[in-house]
Chains A and B, each alone.
Chain A
Amino acid sequence: MNSTLNWLFDPAHWSGPTGIPARILEHLGYTALTVLIAAAIAVPLGAIIGHTGRGTFLVAGLSNGLRALPELGLLTLLVLLTYVGLLPVVVALVILALPPILAGTYAGIRNVDASVVDAARGMGMRGSTVLWKVELPNALPLILGGIRSATLQVIATATIAAYVALGGLGRFVIDGNNAGAGSPNGYPQMAAGAIVIAVLALVVEGVLEIVQRVAVSPGLRNVATRKRTARIWRKPTPDLVGRST
């Protein structure tokens, strides 16, 4: 533990292109790219399925199916199929991020009180207006919940980028593992990397919570805290970092 803290607070590890700050930025970069792509796919898809009620089987099927994929195996397969680089990493992470966002959006739209939707139609809103002005704003707590949940999973799992020679905080974990038990850059580095990932995840969670508070209508605030069911989608971090976090 002591050697982990020594490693963590060594000034040499806090500067330069291989220092902790640079790695954090890389890590956040992968995460942001992944979550943006996943949201761009899952939010419209979940919204359309929730609004029309058609294709509901897709939500359950995709969510469970995608969640069952082993992330590391998937990445290896994607690298073998394509090349060593950012693309396979982002694809693997997007596949991880899709289910919670899809499920959150779908559930959010479906959970909008039927009488509210009935009133909206009865007052003369067209289907698209109902979706944009009524369903999506009311689904926002669950949509953002799904995005938060996806973001945390991706932060934890983006470590695998280092597995295929990319950067990010996974570098410390992988390099530490490779250096072995005896080296000062071995397990202490690995543990320090894991700690930084965990702290980063908590900080990002806090920031997203503030974003959610600002974005969601005050009229929905009570509902937002009551219906945080999207959290069930958070799955344990993969084995690679699981034990040390």
Chain B
Amino acid sequence: MIEFQAVTKKYPDGTVAVDGLDLVVDAGKITVFVGPSGCGKTTSLRMINRMIDPTSGTILLDGKDIRESDPPLLRRGIGYVIQHAGLFPHRTVLDNVATVPMLTGKNKRAARSRAAELLELVGLPTEMGKRYPAQLSGGQQQRVGVARALAADPPVLLMDEPFSAVDPIVRDDLQQQLLRLQSELDKTIVFVTHDIDEAIKLGDRVAVFRVGGRLAQYATPSELLAKPADDFVSSFVGRDRGYRALGFLTATGVPVGPVATVKIGETAAEPGWVVVVDERNRPLGWLDQGSTSDAASADDVVSGGSLYEVDGAAGTAGSLRNALDAALSSPAGVGIAVDADGAVAGSVKAEAVLEALATARRTGEVPA
């Protein structure tokens, strides 16, 4: 647990970076600091590992005032990931990851074998350990950065805009990976970003900062979307709040209906929209059988929008947002539901999603 008590950072020129911050970061959770530039989110993060010392106030790490610790020793117990990864260009990827274990006195062999495990954990092939950072893509470098921060198995991880310099697809990948890692490792993570979508996606709790270093709201993502504290937060949270809030509701109550399918190369039995599938029943797209009675060929297939993932056997489902988006983005007016293997499981209708939302409102699942 990390506790900020009336923490203020004022620079000699009079700029106030952080102004009287009181905040408790829960252990084992992801806490996101988000806000526009100049709001003090990075300064707040860097005060936790004493890269910056506060002008006044106290920061407690597991109940202990961090000022009592020698900064380098404190930092070895706190993972640190930064925007451009900051990998050491002169060291191999493996030795980069082995940095902190080596600093804490582990021998080279033990540190390297630990580093190899971590590369695997973050989804990089072990052979990549022999390369140098300059030979890696931005996304790969960032994975190495995460592996390096985790090498000494610190209970706390500080991440300062780690994914903001990579392209959106890679970023999405890295975010999923972080959530997967967190579900296994249960670290106390403080994550700084200026991207509210990233904050909502990753955070167990989100702290919204406003310019001048003041905390505007500290809440769970669904609360933030449902009940922004003031105009600043609601404008920062942005458009489509209602739609995005659907992302926090699972669609287990939404019925999955039947859907007509046809294997590629075969002719559909009935007219109207059918889902064209491959041999393993995975969707390739839609076909409007009214326009042609020939065998389904790849040229006629209309791409099918997003897919809604549902796992009937496990009783789990995607979010209402996934279900609704699948329905709305489909040319046929109904969304395709797929199972965990990617095979067609049925269809989902927008009306059914709205009904499920109404039910959730009645049962109080949605904060009113």
**Interface, chain A (partner B; CB < 8 A):** 113, 115-116, 118-126, 129, 134, 137-138, 140, 217-220, 222-223
Contact = CB atoms under 8 A, between A and B. Distances in A.
Nearest to A138: B90
B86 A119 contact: yes
A132 B100 CA distance: 16
B24 interface: no
Contacts of B71: 124
Given A115-B82, A115-B83, A217-B132, A126 B72 contact: yes
Interface size class of B (residues with CB under 8 A): 20 to 34
B86 A219 contact: no
Interface of B: 49, 51, 71-76, 80, 82-92, 99-100, 103, 132-134, 145, 148-149, 158
Contacts of A134: 88
A219 B133 contact: yes
Contacts, number: 76
A62 B73 CA distance: 38
Contact of B89 (A121, A129, A138): A138
A218 B131 CA distance: 9
B292 to A, nearest CB: 55
B90 A122 contact: no
Contacts of A122: 49, 51, 75, 80, 82, 86, 158
A118 B82 CA distance: 9
Nearest to B100: A123
Given A121-B75, A124-B75, A219 B89 contact: yes
A137 B100 CA distance: 18
Contact of A137 (B51, B87, B90, B99): B90
A236 to B, nearest CB: 34
A137 B99 CA distance: 15
A220 B89 contact: yes
Contacts of B49: 122
A229 to B, nearest CB: 17
A220 B133 CA distance: 10
A124 B69 CA distance: 12
The 4 closest A-B CB pairs, nearest first, are A119-B86, A219-B132, A124-B76, A217-B90
A116 B72 contact: no
A217 B86 contact: no
Most buried by A among B76, B85, B89: B89
A116 B86 contact: yes
A219 B74 CA distance: 30
Most buried by A among B71, B72, B84, B88: B88
B99 A123 contact: yes
Contact of A124 (B72, B84, B90, B145): B72
A84 to B, nearest CB: 46
A218 B95 CA distance: 14
Nearest to B131: A219
A137 B145 CA distance: 20
B148 A116 contact: no
Given A122-B82, A124-B73, A219-B133, A116 B89 contact: yes
Contacts of A129: 103
A175 to B, nearest CB: 48
B185 to A, nearest CB: 18
B328 to A, nearest CB: 42
A219 B89 CA distance: 6
A32 B80 CA distance: 44
A115 B145 CA distance: 12
